[in-house]
């Protein structure tokens, strides 16, 4: 039996993520023959939709991807809808009946993926019922995909993990971090282990490393969620930690997913924790955006659903240190925020220099606005005057190749089908990332907002973030020349 024949049961089938990302992703996998004809999708949610209506929704969500009408019609015929109340045990019996019927109809052989795209509070309710009511099969695989957030601090994450592992083993749990589905993130380790860069990947040659996850977008309609999260829970604990750990980890002991994830775990565990509030404020900046009236943008505290005295940070910048021999003395500067001057997602590896009169050589890995990799190096200026100038060597996929690159969710669903756990977050990665963030949050509680800084919406961020760099004799390598 092939792994790519399966029933995918989606909890949250009427949601926004499903229509925007998941159905197009599954369709791309289908049309490129990464899913076999022996597949079915069961969509569940509270609403009383029919199969016909569900198929119409799925069809509309893939319109832009359709290249062959017949193939698209065939694809949507594999979708089935079942109204479902996650708290009602009887509904799981119906789900099992439908799964068994479809399994026979498509000759699937027991493989199941359960994808929960609902409020995380419901994860354990669903997994409990799936196991207790024998929806899980014993003749194929049973895999669970869940969306972030995995808890909201270490304690809640531990509780959630305990609940989930009553029904699923750790190696059946696929925690999504959609950044791991991005082409350049998923190939980051390949780049690092290229024979040229791997030799330079340590404090012997690297001066500092910078990661910027900047967005011009605000909090949209998500005020209630965002005010409980702030950028640290929305972007740093997950996406930033993932990128950081892949950049900082030591060489895996073997080529398996376990070997890779173990080194990421070790790296996250090696982050130096701040000693006290002074140490924290010297290295960590939190800030909120204020209005930009000329652009018609209100400040964070004036946004819908945000309390006027909110102490939630919409911006975070920090200097992190890894207590690893490889990185002794190499600062990792990270920053992320909403309502900044643009959307740019970049990594800069800044190399050491021995001549104070030239720029540092640096490697830029850019996910957005463009997908490309550039190496900036010093080159003699042309002409009689001489002097050095930093010039880029650029790698970028041709447009026709770029358009074929799997989208985030397409890559991740495919990785789940193929049991590639290295594309997903291990429990210990989540746990240690929370442990690290919790200690920052605890200091923030003590500081009671005294350290909050401000920046104008659509600016480059708070001046204090630039001062942090100056204090370490460097600057943000930004995307102005991207
Ligand atoms: C999500 C956050 O996880 O990532 C959003 O919840 C954020 O607030 C988004 O906008 C950014 O993702 P990307 O892929 O656009 O960089």
Separation of 306 CA from ligand 1 center, angstroms?
A: 19
Please check the confidence at residue 284 and state whether its pLDDT lies above 70. yes
Please check the confidence at residue 4 and state whether its pLDDT lies above 90. no
Separation of 1 CA from ligand 1 center, angstroms?
A: 37
pLDDT at residue 387, rounded to an integer: 86
Q: Whose CA is closest to 327, among 284, 282, 267, 276? A: 267
Residue nearest to atom 4 of ligand 1 (CA): 235
Atom number in ligand 1 closest to CA 345 = 16
pLDDT at residue 1, rounded to an integer: 63
Pocket test for ligand 1, best of 239, 316, 335, 340 (most atoms within 8 A of CB): 239
Pocket test for ligand 1, best of 215, 238, 312 (most atoms within 8 A of CB): 215
pLDDT, tens digit, for every residue of 138-192? 999 999 999 999 999 999 999 999 999 999 999 999 999 999 999 999 999 999 9
Separation of 338 CA from ligand 1 center, angstroms?
A: 10
d(C-alpha 407, C-alpha 411), whole Å: 6
Atom number in ligand 1 closest to CA 408 = 14
pLDDT, tens digit, for every residue of 402-440? 989 999 999 999 999 999 999 999 999 999 999 999 999
pLDDT at residue 384, rounded to an integer: 85
Residue nearest to atom 6 of ligand 1 (CA): 234
Residue nearest to atom 5 of ligand 1 (CA): 234
Which amino acids bring their CB within 6 angstroms of ligand 1? 215, 217, 234, 345
Residue nearest to atom 14 of ligand 1 (CA): 179
Atom number in ligand 1 closest to CA 182 = 14
Please check the confidence at residue 482 and state whether its pLDDT lies above 60. no
Atom number in ligand 1 closest to CA 213 = 16
pLDDT, tens digit, for every residue of 299-323? 999 999 999 999 999 999 999 999 9
- Is 239 marked active-site? yes
Separation of 105 CA from ligand 1 center, angstroms?
A: 39
What would the 3-class secondary structure string for the chain be? Answer: CCCCCEEEEEECCCCHHHHHHHHHHHHHHHHCCCCCCCEEEEEEECCCCCHHHHHHHHHHHCHHHCCCHHHHHHHHCCEEEEECCCCCHHHHHHHHHHHHHHHHHHCCCCCEEEEECCCHHHHHHHHHHHHHCCCCCCCCCEEEEECCCCCCCHHHHHHHHHHHCCCCCHHHEEECCHHHHCHHHHCHHHHHCCHHHHHHCCCCCEEEEEEEEECCCCCCCCHHHHHHHHHHHHHHHHHHHHHHHHHHCCCCCCCCHHHHHHHHHHHHHCECCCCCHHHHHHHEEEEEEECEHHHCECCHHHCCCCCCCCCCCCEEEEEECECCHHHCCCCEEEEEECCECCCEEEEEEEECCCCCCCCCCEEEEEEECCCEEEEEEEEECCCCCCCEEEEEEEECCCHHHHCCCCCHHHHHHHHHHCCCHHHCECHHHHHHHHHHHHHHHHHHHHHCCCCCEEEECCECCCHHHHHHHHHCCCCCCCCCCC
Residue 2's pLDDT band (boundaries 50, 70, 90)? Answer: confident
Separation of 153 CA from ligand 1 center, angstroms?
A: 19
pLDDT, tens digit, for every residue of 264-276? 999 999 999 999 9
pLDDT at residue 343, rounded to an integer: 95
Mean pLDDT of 83-104: 97
Pocket test for ligand 1, best of 178, 230, 479 (most atoms within 8 A of CB): 178
Separation of 110 CA from ligand 1 center, angstroms?
A: 34
Write out the two tokens for 244: 């950081």
Separation of 89 CA from ligand 1 center, angstroms?
A: 34
Atom number in ligand 1 closest to CA 229 = 6
Of 129, 239, 348, 426, the active-site residue reads 239
Contact 75, 31 (CB under 8 A): yes
């Amino acid at each position: 039996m092939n792994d790519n024949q399966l029933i995918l049961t989606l909890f949250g089938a009427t949601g926004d993520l499903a229509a925007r990302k998941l159905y197009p992703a599954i369709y791309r996998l289908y049309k490129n023959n990464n899913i076999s004809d022996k597949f079915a999708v069961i969509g569940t949610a509270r609403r009383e939709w029919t199969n016909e209506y569900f198929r119409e929704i799925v069809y509309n969500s893939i319109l832009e991807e359709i290249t062959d009408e017949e193939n698209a019609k065939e694809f949507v015929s594999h979708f089935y809808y079942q109204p479902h109340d996650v708290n009602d045990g009887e509904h799981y019996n119906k789900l099992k009946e439908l799964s068994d019927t479809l399994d026979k109809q498509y000759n699937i052989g027991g493989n199941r993926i359960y994808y929960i795209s609902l409020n995380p509070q419901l994860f354990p309710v669903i997994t409990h019922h799936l196991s207790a009511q024998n929806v899980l099969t014993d003749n194929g695989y049973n895999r669970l995909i869940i969306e972030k957030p995995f808890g909201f601090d270490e304690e809640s994450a531990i509780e959630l993990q305990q609940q989930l592992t009553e029904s699923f083993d750790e190696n059946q749990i696929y925690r999504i971090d959609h950044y791991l589905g991005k082409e350049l993130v998923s190939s980051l380790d390949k780049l690092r282990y290229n024979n040229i860069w791997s030799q330079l990947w340590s404090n012997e040659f690297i001066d500092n490393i910078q990661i910027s996850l900047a967005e011009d977008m605000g909090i949209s309609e998500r005020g209630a969620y965002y005010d409980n999260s702030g950028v640290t829970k929305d972007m740093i604990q997950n996406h930033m930690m993932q990128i950081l750990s892949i950049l900082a980890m030591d060489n895996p002991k073997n080529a398996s997913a376990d070997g890779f994830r173990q080194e990421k775990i070790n790296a996250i565990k090696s982050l130096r924790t701040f000693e006290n509030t002074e140490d924290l404020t010297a290295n960590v900046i939190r800030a909120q955006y204020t209005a930009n009236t000329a652009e018609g943008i209100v400040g964070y505290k004036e946004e819908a659903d945000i309390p006027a005295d909110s102490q939630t940070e919409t911006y975070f910048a920090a200097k992190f240190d890894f207590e690893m021999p490889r990185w002794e003395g190499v600062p990792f500067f990270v920053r992320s925020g909403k309502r900044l001057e643009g959307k740019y997602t970049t990594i800069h590896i800044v190399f050491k220099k021995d001549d104070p009169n030239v720029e540092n050589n640096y490697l830029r890995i850019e996910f957005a606005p463009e997908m490309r990799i550039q190496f900036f190096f010093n080159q003699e200026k042309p002409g009689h005057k001489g002097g050095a100038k930093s010039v880029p060597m650029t790698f970028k996929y041709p447009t026709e190749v770029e358009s074929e690159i799997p989208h985030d969710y397409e890559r991740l669903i495919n990785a789940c089908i193929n049991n590639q756990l290295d594309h997903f977050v291990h429990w210990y990665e989540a746990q240690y990332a929370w442990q690290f963030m919790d200690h920052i949050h605890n200091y923030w509680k003590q500081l009671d907002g005294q350290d909050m800084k401000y920046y104008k919406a659509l600016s480059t961020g708070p001046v204090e973030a630039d001062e942090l760099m100056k204090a370490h004799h460097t600057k943000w390598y930004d995307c102005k020349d991207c």
